[in-house]
Structure 1
């Protein structure tokens, strides 16, 4: 573990690596975001439930988990490096005044968090060559800025150009009796930066999963989803190799 990332388990050749960009709500002591601390418990700061879910999954044979180790409000790893949203000045209607940085401070934040995170992930994928990368996120049932827009999907599957794993996973998830979103609650054509960089750009198979927060908010839900995703990822990996 370092300031930017946390690795759980030991990645293995032919295994499955769980990657969660937004697993933490940690704000280092020397960074003041200038926000109400209660916001750090909400979706704008962290993908609720994914850290616990990834940790349970990492206990399965062949699995390891690579997690972001700071809040997405400190640095959003699932963005292009020089997109404004990489260090957001606002999120879902909330201003983040501590992120109004000059060029030098902005570069220092990227150098401290963004670049080490992506450098380590690139190293792991190149060294261990997992058979599948699982990009794991969670989403809120509705945004504060658009409360009228309900998100009924229990799980969404996201992808950009490479939909190979998605096409296998979607019917498997539907067979579980779930309400499944294909490119919902948003599209992987727009929000897929980490997988675009580390998987699509190198022809590495990946599966992008978004789980609604209420499904994995507690340990019981995380355990249910860990068992489900391990089964489904194993089947996806086998079919991709066939």
Structure 2
């Protein structure tokens, strides 16, 4: 328990905030979420034993996703909840009971600082990263002003924004845009139609990940029970390599989201 208390103090003393809310007064009937926005690792975790290459790799965050999400937020005038802490500290898109929220290896990258953790150390990360992140999402969705705004529209929506690598375990991915859904495919189908009509991107449903990979946790946690329309969007990160490309993708996505919801 001594290590547990020390860790709690370090999280608090170093001012670690798990998440931030951008554009809280946005008027769109949408809540945007970017679970893997940051590669920040609190100093007391000693970079989790990673070298510099690992710290800036896709293992630590979704490269380009935060910048894209911020532009989508501005274009749609929608609030955005973004993670402030690397998914290697705790992946906020994984339920604590799943046992996979703190990876000891990400693709080919070992994460020494995540190995042989005590239950107390795991609990600390859940308490200081996962729980406040999802608390902020819940507060944003259930803000009285937002509930009032959503009630005026037929299709309030929860949308998560991600990026993925062009190559995974040596396999080149041909898909450029993934539109992911679980049981509720309403918004996904509308989004696919808009994307196909408006862009040249190679888009697929439930790619590059299948929902059986536990990638829909945030959406299932916050959207399913409320019957909110929802979708998870994945963009290949080589399409987000500079500000011009990020802006172009953000414009395409924002227009597609807007039109999809207008036709819901």
Q: Specify the TM-score bucket, using the shorter chain as the normaliser.
A: over 0.9
Q: Tell me, yes or no, if the aligned pair for 1:161 and 1:189 is still in contact at 8 Å.
A: no
Shift of the alpha carbon at 1:134? 1.6
Aligned residue in 1 for 2:193: 171
Q: Does 1:53 align with 2:68?
A: yes
Q: Does 1:119 align with 2:135?
A: yes
Shift of the alpha carbon at 1:62? 2.6
Between the aligned partners of 1:61 and 1:68, the Cα distance in structure 2 is 20
SS in structure 2 of the partner of residue 71 of structure 1: coil
Q: Does 1:184 align with 2:198?
A: no
**How many equivalent residue pairs?**
237
Aligned residue in 1 for 2:166: 141
Larger Rg: 2
SS in structure 1 of the partner of residue 141 of structure 2: helix
Structure whose residues are more often helix by fraction: 2
Between the aligned partners of 2:16 and 2:118, the Cα distance in structure 1 is 25
Q: Does 1:25 align with 2:39?
A: yes
* Cα separation, partners in 2 of 1:171 and 1:76, compared to 1, 3 Å: same
Runs (5+) with no aligned partner, structure 1: none
Between the aligned partners of 2:157 and 2:259, the Cα distance in structure 1 is 11
Q: Tell me, yes or no, if the aligned pair for 1:11 and 1:17 is still in contact at 8 Å.
A: no
Shift of the alpha carbon at 1:41? 1.2
Q: Tell me, yes or no, if the aligned pair for 2:31 and 2:159 is still in contact at 8 Å.
A: yes
Shift of the alpha carbon at 1:24? 0.4
Q: Tell me, yes or no, if the aligned pair for 1:20 and 1:68 is still in contact at 8 Å.
A: yes
Describe the superposition over 1:54-96 as per-residue Cα deviations: whole angstroms up to 9, x where unpaired. 1112222532211011111111011111223211111102221
